[in-house]
Structure 1
Amino acid sequence: MGLISSVMGLLFGGNRNVVRETAELFRENREAGAQRSHSIQEQAMMQFGSEFAQPTQGAFDRFIDGLNRLPRPALALGTLGLFVSAMIDPLWFAARMQGIALVPEPLWWLLGVIVSFYFGARHQAKMQGLQRDLAASVKRAPEVIGNISALRSLRSDDPNAADPGPEASVNLAAVQPDSNPALTHWRTLRQA
């Protein structure tokens, strides 16, 4: 019995557990791991709380913070609005896009500087390509004006927009069905 109690005293004596300590070399103690995880989470939450704790702000500070949050949603919602307006009234949308083609080059540069400064991106190569494209589009101003007047003539606000004109052959052609050889052939086969 003396040998067994000596071995047990060596392994488990003095508030020690050599087996547990050896096993913890290869596998984490779950209770100690849970305590460490809780401690890390608690410290992170305290850090977040101190980070977001703000002193009482005045009305001006809150207003400026609100303005700082507007550009990204405004750009995203504005782009979605363009898609919606193109689906609702394509002629109106096309006329506005023709107008955008006439915006002078310095305004495009100014817009590019503002947007790239705000979002922190550098788009110099793209802007130079855009400059060439815009210079070409400004040269097409007379064509754009012609396109706008053609788009306005397509508008169906006038009740006489569908009027075929005074020519009788046009009126007759509008009410006469077109010949359909496949339908004629089918009808002859059906009658036979």
Structure 2
Amino acid sequence: MGLISGVLAMLFGGGRNVVRETAEVFRENADANAKRGVTIQSQAMTQFGAEFQVPRKGGFDRFMDGLNRLPRPALALGTLGLFVAAMVDPLWFAARMQGIALVPEPLWWLLGVVVSFYFGARHQAKMQDLQRDITTTMLHVPTVMANIEALRQMRSDSPGAADTGSDAQLAMDVTHPDANPALEDWRRLRQA
């Protein structure tokens, strides 16, 4: 009995719990973690609230607040504008994208660093992938422009849209209309 009580006293006696202390080496104490989380969150909220207790007196402060809110919506609306521009005037858009294709790579890197610093959690690899994607897209521009030109020629209001070209069978089909029994009946009724 003395040995067992000595081992138990060593493990749990003197205000200590060796089993718990050993387990906390491998797994975080959930109760202590929750207490730390509450402390951190309350400190963050206190700091956040203190930022808004500073009186904004001048127009400069209001201007800077507005300026800080501008880049994200401007980038989002600008990107949507590029999609609209690509559909409305493909030639204008293609010319602008050709200009972007001429931007040297170090300048893309610099833009990537600035955007990464401003927005955070952006990586240089993303910008390089974007540049590669833009280059790949630009390779498709001649095909897209040829397709658009072909579509323009197919419009019913373009000159020569009804031209049969060198297709003799099509020319004969166009000049000799099909029989229309309803039209023949109508003509007979009008003559009677």
TM-score higher than 0.5 here? no
Q: Which has the higher contact order (CA 8 A, sep 6+)?
A: 1
TM-score, normalised by the number of residues in structure 2:
0.43
